[in-house]
């Protein structure tokens, strides 16, 4: 078995670092899109979107990136894994107006039913 030369090893390390950076950029974009879905679905302020997303991830024990992927696909598939859907609604529960409070812009929209 031939040993790698220093330049070859450095090139491999740089290629791996580049691959990791590409994955991080894609993951970040998906998370940002998922926050947008949370904002639209929950009618919550922008600062709350990240909190809801992390709460759903923690309460379902599903990686944040995976939760984000499901949320981004949800409008197109008209389906969300039940445990993620429950955790999302639970996370948004304390954002709902209390009885007698005007719903205003925080009024919830109904989820899309599977066909």
Q: What is the pLDDT of residues 52-103, one digit of tens each?
A: 999 999 999 999 999 999 999 999 999 999 999 999 999 999 887 665 555 4
Listed residue (44, 86, 46) closest to 67, CA to CA: 86
pTM of the model: 0.68
Asked if the structure places residue 36 within a domain, the reply is yes
**pLDDT value at residue 88:** 97
SS (H, E, C) 41-60: HHCCCHHHHHHHHHHHHHHH
CA–CA separation, 54 vs 71, rounded Å? 13
Asked if the structure places residue 108 within a domain, the reply is no
Asked if the structure places residue 30 within a domain, the reply is yes
Residue 33, token pair as written in the block = 């899109």
Domain containing residue 88? 6-97
CA–CA separation, 102 vs 98, rounded Å? 8
CA–CA separation, 28 vs 88, rounded Å? 20
CA–CA separation, 93 vs 11, rounded Å? 50
């Amino acid at each position: 078995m031939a040993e790698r030369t220093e330049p070859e090893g450095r090139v491999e390390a740089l290629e791996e670092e580049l691959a990791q950076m590409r994955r991080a950029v894609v993951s970040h974009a998906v998370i940002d899109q998922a926050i947008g879905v949370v904002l639209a679905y929950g009618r919550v302020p922008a600062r709350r979107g990240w909190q809801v997303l992390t709460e759903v991830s923690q309460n379902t024990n599903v990686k944040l990136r995976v939760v984000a992927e499901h949320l981004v696909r949800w409008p197109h598939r008209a389906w969300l894994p039940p445990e993620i859907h429950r955790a999302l609604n639970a996370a948004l529960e304390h954002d709902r107006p209390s009885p007698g409070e005007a719903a205003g812009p925080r009024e919830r929209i109904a989820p899309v039913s599977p066909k």
